[in-house]
Structure 1
Amino acid sequence: MVETFFPIILLVGVVASIMIQNHIKAIPLPIVFIVVGMLFSMLPLYQHFTFDPTLFLFLIVAPFLYNDAQSASRYWIGRGAINIFSLSIMLVIFTVIGVGIVVHSIFSIIPLALVIALSAIVTPTDATSVSAFSFPNKNLQIPYIILQNESLFNDATGFVTLNIAVAMYLSGTFSIGAALVAFLIEFGGGLLFGVIIGVIIHAIRSLLISLGDDSPLVMVSIEMIVPFIAYFVADGFGFSGILAVVAAGLIQGSENDNLQLTSSRMQLVRSNAWEIIEQALTGVIFILLGISLPTIIIGILNTGHNLLFLLVMIALSIYTVKFVIRLLWTRYLVWMHIPSASRWKDSWIMALSGASGTISLALAFLLPKSINENSVVNRNSMIFIISVVIIVSLTIAAVTVPKPTRPKKNKDLIKPVDKWVREMIMVAMNTVRKEKEHQVESDIVVDALSQQLHAHKFVNRRERHQIYRFAYKAEINAVNELLSEKKITQDEHKYYLEFLALSFKTVTGGPLTNLLLRFRFGFNIGKLYRDINSVQEMFLTSPLLAEQFYWVNQFESHDEDIMSIEKVGFDAVMSALKEKFHGQSVSLELHDVRSFYRERHRRMYQSTPNPKIFYQLFLEAFHAEFEFLQNTIRDGKIGMDTAEALQEHIIYDQMALIQNDSVYTQNYEIKRYDK
């Protein structure tokens, strides 16, 4: 029973790690995953954890690489074929052999074949591990693209090389000719099978689109099973399943490029689904490493030798030799497509950014348990060495890469995206505010837009409570003045103050208070109208709305007018808040209080919003945002990355409106109950 929570706890760890790194950006996300995994290792469920490497490769690595392949740019792959061959095949082979020879000569206790295996594992780069740094400097876009394409193909080379090295170690024999033949068979066969499977799936998907059966569920489900089919079939025939997955992913990626604006909804769902899956798989891999590390370290310490220090030195030696080879190779044997006045800088960035990451970790788990040369050379020791290389490479990249990749200072071009979003929303709000003929709908749209300005701010509940109390007292004073001027009766004064007291208790109370109020209003409605449907409706309605529904009906049943009293109270509150906070920036707490009173006033005093007008005003707001975006691009104030982020913001807002348009207007009609 406990084992059933295994994947759930892993997913919780992934989510927690992402949230932690979001607030501590200086620490690379993979390292946060590892630390969280080490904390999980203290749980009884995860102590002495072991994972089937075959399942690991099939269930985690295959879909991960498939998504990388289909997301890669076919244009740059074709244009950079020479670089891909140079970095993904020649550099990997040269590094594997070079690191193997150098490190084996320094630490002869490790057989050459195993050093080659270690090098094969850590040589594949993982550009996604340092993608958080991005490359905002336009002059570095080419190195970044080369890194992405390289990391796609050298993964497969690393897999094949590792298989050959491990087989060589376990058999005790080595033949260059046999190794080359094995490499070509695995490499070429895997690519061929992947292409065949990709073409077949492509034909099926094209047929479904032509028949109109391209619903997201059907199309995305088919796409999700492609990496598993490609890997299973190719591996079954003795070829590289990983290369088959990469080839199939490239074929599917070309299909996605051809779709362009066809099946747009399916493409959006597909990209979002894969983004979530990739993040989850990346997190799971690193958390599993963190869970395994304590057991590995304890096993190493129990040998009685000063082994931990030796393994760290081996790891640092592997990283250093690998880094030097990569630096020189990228300087002299990489074509940068465009002239560059800072080739050494480009090479340093490419060498530092070529960190080991997810794929290296996946390869580490694939090491066979039969490796047990001596107390130094065993599977645990090798996984520990690989872990140190990964952590060191990620840490160095995190420290060194961001600074040289920043663009030259230009306050417009480096302004954060959220600042541009804020400006864009303000333009939309000002556009909608000009609509005076439909004030009710205009106010609702402005409030909905303004809510985005405070979406990622922390609510100070104490401060909000104080503002509510200030507004509450201002309204009470206004109602007391109405009574003193004999503009309302004693009964109206008494019951309106009771309405205010209950409203104040609701907005400042907790969940228990709200639950009790639901029962109270449900009971009162049942007592007054003896209608079970009315009781049910009231109980399922928010207490704030229930109070307003209840008191409007109560006042009307006694031929009294709550609307005019509420109008005076609303004006008094808005005036008091404006006077008290004049000249201050609008805080989230003040925004919440003002929104509450505006919604109450619209609901109780004004007519029900017209959904058609409301929808038109939202379209006007989006149109204003698009015009703002066009003008900033035309004036050269923003780059394409920022422009795409702003466009994405508008599009997601439009989709949210389509899916939830009724939410904005459905709670504004006061329900009347007849006795």
Structure 2
Amino acid sequence: MESFIVIISFIVAVIISAVIHHYFSKIPLVFIQIGIGMLIFLTPLPIQLEFEPELFLIGIIAPLLFLEGNHVSRINLLKYLKPVILMAIGLVFTTVIGLGYIIQWMLPVIPFAACFALAAIICPTDAVAVQAIAKGRKLPKGLMTILSGESLLNDAAGILSFNIALVALTTGEFSATHAVLQFVMSTFGGLIVGAIIGVAFVQFRMFLIRTGFYNEFVFILIQLLTPFIIYMTAESFHVSGVIAAVIGGIIHGMERDRLSQATTRLQLGYDNTWGLLSTVLNGFVFTILGYIIPEVTVHMINTESGHLGRIIFYTLLIALFVYIFRFVWVYLLYDRFFIPESRFERILNNESVANVEKRPSRFKYALLASVCGVHGTISMAIALTLPMKVFHDQPFATRDDMLFITAGVVVISLIIAQIVLPLLTTFEERVSVSKLSFREARMMMKEHGLFYIQRNSGPENSVAASSLTHQYATQISFFKEADDNEQSLKELSRLQSIALQTEMETLKELTQTGKITESTFNNYITYTERTRNFASLSFFAKLTFIFRMRKRRTQFMNQVNAASSLSFKNNLLEIEKVAQVVHYKIVERLSGELVKSNKIEMAMVTDSYLNRMIQLKRNATTEDMNNSETLLALEVLNVERDYIHQLVDKEKISSEVAVELRQSINYDEMVMLSSNER
């Protein structure tokens, strides 16, 4: 019961921190979470933080590293691989060895192996925290990529170094040769296990998709279990589970690139689930950090007079040495870090060929790289796995000191980055533009989609591309010619209401004369409720339509032969015939409403019914082409989603318009996927 209270308390804390951050966005989220953790310590809740190290590694570190590997940019990682390895491997080992001896010199009370364990704990960096602090600020080209790659790999290197030091601490035995051999074997073993199991899981999911199995919840569960299975399997072979988790994440990131366009709904489920898990785990760790600081502080005050002051002083010194190690390392190897963009890369990035970025000074680049070396989730997660007892089952007397030093270094790095980074950088230059309306933004989005269709059409998809080109061109012409004013919207709503009334009257006539079967009527209603023109109606109009059609369906059961049974294809043909009659009746009825000022609105209403009829006919007669068109359409919708991100980043649209655009894309996607499932 106590464990349940602990988990619920910290999850509630994560939720509260997110709400507070929404209203006070200038305060970094991690500081809010740390503050809430401190408040939890002051509450009378019966919370005892005792972690099983192995369980903590599996439950928090493994999925976080898997997620980092999943989202890392593989292209940029390869480009900056040398500086990333220099930071993630070379700097980690240099810091662990050098800082370990310094800590032993400053704090001889801490066991020798524990000094190296503490240095290994402090090494991992948190690129997510840096990205949040540096958002909107101009960093030297490639520095953020290097920091992200460093964060991914030095997490694994730091944890591996920590495990080696921990073995020495708990067994009392240490051999440099054995440690190096163990590191090499653990690393390469983790690479192999992570690659094999990662590929196996990817191939298993691909096999299920190819054989017709498609249950997004099962696929999400499989991917959620993947990092845990990879980690436990690697550890059972006595190789690095963290390295295996990272490699497994990178391989699953490749799978995401392959499937993101063909299975958009599944990818959306992956992103939402992992986003939730990442938010909870990161928030959980920082809230625990806030809880631990006062807990350990109180314990040190009660232990020895003046002890807290000395530990704070040593914490400041250790943080200073961490910065010195980073600064000197980058300063000496500066030429390996700054890689200017080639002329071809600038063309690909839509940048001016003549606009070559000025090479930053060696001192400033090293200073920025040092300040951006923020420590966070992984460091605290490793520290929390420190054992309560060491060699010969003796109590680990300096465990609280190490926890306090780790927490102090993490907080100091966050504060330094928050204060110093704005002083060293400027905001990225942004062209001041007025916000686009929903209609203007949607028109630009559709134009972007049309350009993508035209650029990616070929002999194998020419029919599908032509059909989509016509649909997109028609929509764009409407957006360009229609006025986004209240009068136009009122007229459009009025004509839609007339069309809807005509549609219901036509269906009533067809049912009363026995010209359509019950299954045709039901299928037509189902299809209508999923179409775009139905989605554009007001809530009251939708409710009216649904109520009347349900009533008509009940009455109709007594008027037609309920035994009517047609094949799927014939049902579509029957629905298409109904759509033809409905379209004809609507055009006939609306012709009496046509005036010079409402030509665009009239065309929008009648064309929506025409497109429905064309789509039905295509579904019934060219199933293969329709599948090809659906895949291409989903691909284009994914491109439109990316374009929304670009508009938001360039501040061309408000967050409200972005939400509306995403909702319109989600609905279009739902209609297509639902149509294919019928």
* Residue 417 (structure 2) pairs with residue 407 (structure 1): no
Letter aligned with residue 378 of structure 2: I
SS at match of 1:276: helix
Query: CA 1:641–1:344 in 2, change beyond 3 Å: closer, same or farther?
Result: farther
Letter aligned with residue 663 of structure 2: D
Offset of 1:371 from its aligned partner? 4.5
Query: CA 1:33–1:442 in 2, change beyond 3 Å: closer, same or farther?
Result: same
* Equivalent position of 1:336 in the other structure: 338
- For residues 638 and 440 of structure 1, the distance between their equivalents in structure 2, rounded to whole angstroms, comes to 30
- For residues 167 and 81 of structure 2, the distance between their equivalents in structure 1, rounded to whole angstroms, comes to 30
List aligned pairs for 1:568-647, cutoff 5 A.
613=605
Correspondence for 2:404 among 384, 387, 397: 384
List aligned pairs for 1:60-99, cutoff 5 A.
60-99=60-99
Q: Give yes or no for contact 2:389–2:395 (8 Å, CA) kept in 1.
A: no
List aligned pairs for 1:201-220, cutoff 5 A.
201-220=201-220
List aligned pairs for 1:336-485, cutoff 5 A.
336-338=338-340, 340-371=359-390, 377-407=397-427, 409-412=429-432, 419=435, 431=482, 433=484, 439=490, 441-442=492-493
**Structure 1, 146-155 or 162-171: larger mean CA deviation:** 162-171
List aligned pairs for 1:142-541, cutoff 5 A.
142-333=142-333, 334-338=336-340, 340-371=359-390, 377-407=397-427, 409-412=429-432, 419=435, 431=482, 433=484, 439=490, 441-442=492-493
* Residue 671 (structure 2) pairs with residue 653 (structure 1): no
What root-mean-square deviation, in Å, do the aligned CA atoms of Structure 1 and Structure 2 show?
A: 3.9
SS at match of 1:197: helix
Q: Give yes or no for contact 1:92–1:120 (8 Å, CA) kept in 2.
A: yes
Q: Give yes or no for contact 2:138–2:428 (8 Å, CA) kept in 1.
A: no
Offset of 1:257 from its aligned partner? 1.6
Q: Give yes or no for contact 2:28–2:133 (8 Å, CA) kept in 1.
A: no
- For residues 106 and 360 of structure 1, the distance between their equivalents in structure 2, rounded to whole angstroms, comes to 21
Letter aligned with residue 303 of structure 1: T
Offset of 1:4 from its aligned partner? 3.6
Query: CA 1:400–1:212 in 2, change beyond 3 Å: closer, same or farther?
Result: farther
**Unpaired runs of at least 5, structure 2:** 341-357, 444-478, 497-538, 545-600, 612-635, 672-678
Query: CA 1:330–1:188 in 2, change beyond 3 Å: closer, same or farther?
Result: same
**Structure 1, 27-36 or 358-367: larger mean CA deviation:** 27-36
- For residues 438 and 296 of structure 1, the distance between their equivalents in structure 2, rounded to whole angstroms, comes to 64
Letter aligned with residue 406 of structure 2: I
SS at match of 1:396: helix
- For residues 59 and 655 of structure 1, the distance between their equivalents in structure 2, rounded to whole angstroms, comes to 35
* Equivalent position of 1:117 in the other structure: 117
SS at match of 2:337: coil
List aligned pairs for 1:32-47, cutoff 5 A.
32-47=32-47
Offset of 1:266 from its aligned partner? 1.0
Offset of 1:105 from its aligned partner? 2.3
Query: CA 1:319–1:641 in 2, change beyond 3 Å: closer, same or farther?
Result: farther
Identity %: 29
SS at match of 1:251: helix
Q: Give yes or no for contact 1:214–1:266 (8 Å, CA) kept in 2.
A: no
Query: CA 1:642–1:179 in 2, change beyond 3 Å: closer, same or farther?
Result: farther
- For residues 319 and 443 of structure 1, the distance between their equivalents in structure 2, rounded to whole angstroms, comes to 69
Letter aligned with residue 283 of structure 1: G
Q: TM-score, normalised by structure 1?
A: 0.64
Q: Give yes or no for contact 1:14–1:33 (8 Å, CA) kept in 2.
A: yes
- For residues 480 and 39 of structure 2, the distance between their equivalents in structure 1, rounded to whole angstroms, comes to 47
* Equivalent position of 1:594 in the other structure: none
- For residues 614 and 8 of structure 1, the distance between their equivalents in structure 2, rounded to whole angstroms, comes to 55
Q: Give yes or no for contact 1:35–1:290 (8 Å, CA) kept in 2.
A: yes
- For residues 201 and 54 of structure 1, the distance between their equivalents in structure 2, rounded to whole angstroms, comes to 24
Offset of 1:613 from its aligned partner? 4.2
- For residues 614 and 114 of structure 1, the distance between their equivalents in structure 2, rounded to whole angstroms, comes to 76
- For residues 412 and 370 of structure 1, the distance between their equivalents in structure 2, rounded to whole angstroms, comes to 60
Q: TM-score, normalised by structure 2?
A: 0.64
Query: CA 1:293–1:74 in 2, change beyond 3 Å: closer, same or farther?
Result: same
* Equivalent position of 1:587 in the other structure: none
- For residues 351 and 645 of structure 1, the distance between their equivalents in structure 2, rounded to whole angstroms, comes to 35
**Unpaired runs of at least 5, structure 1:** 446-543, 550-608, 620-625, 662-675
Offset of 1:85 from its aligned partner? 1.7
Offset of 1:179 from its aligned partner? 1.0
Offset of 1:269 from its aligned partner? 1.9
- For residues 268 and 390 of structure 1, the distance between their equivalents in structure 2, rounded to whole angstroms, comes to 33
* Equivalent position of 1:602 in the other structure: none
- For residues 443 and 58 of structure 1, the distance between their equivalents in structure 2, rounded to whole angstroms, comes to 60
- For residues 97 and 444 of structure 1, the distance between their equivalents in structure 2, rounded to whole angstroms, comes to 77
Q: Give yes or no for contact 2:482–2:488 (8 Å, CA) kept in 1.
A: no
Letter aligned with residue 104 of structure 2: H
- For residues 71 and 645 of structure 1, the distance between their equivalents in structure 2, rounded to whole angstroms, comes to 26
Offset of 1:135 from its aligned partner? 4.8
SS at match of 1:401: helix
Q: Tell me how many residue pairs correspond in the alignment.
A: 485
- For residues 159 and 406 of structure 1, the distance between their equivalents in structure 2, rounded to whole angstroms, comes to 35
Query: CA 1:345–1:613 in 2, change beyond 3 Å: closer, same or farther?
Result: farther
Offset of 1:650 from its aligned partner? 5.7
Letter aligned with residue 170 of structure 1: T
* Equivalent position of 1:21 in the other structure: 21
Query: CA 1:201–1:638 in 2, change beyond 3 Å: closer, same or farther?
Result: closer
Offset of 1:317 from its aligned partner? 1.4
- For residues 24 and 495 of structure 2, the distance between their equivalents in structure 1, rounded to whole angstroms, comes to 37
Letter aligned with residue 380 of structure 1: D
- For residues 56 and 294 of structure 1, the distance between their equivalents in structure 2, rounded to whole angstroms, comes to 22
- For residues 131 and 659 of structure 2, the distance between their equivalents in structure 1, rounded to whole angstroms, comes to 21
* Equivalent position of 2:344 in the other structure: none
Per-residue CA deviations over 1:59-106 (Å, capped at 9, x if unaligned) read: 122111111111001112222221222111111000111112223223
- For residues 100 and 360 of structure 1, the distance between their equivalents in structure 2, rounded to whole angstroms, comes to 16
SS at match of 1:394: helix
Offset of 1:3 from its aligned partner? 4.8
Letter aligned with residue 238 of structure 2: G
SS at match of 1:140: coil
Q: Give yes or no for contact 2:191–2:243 (8 Å, CA) kept in 1.
A: yes
Offset of 1:441 from its aligned partner? 4.6
Letter aligned with residue 401 of structure 1: L
Q: Give yes or no for contact 1:117–1:165 (8 Å, CA) kept in 2.
A: yes
SS at match of 1:201: helix
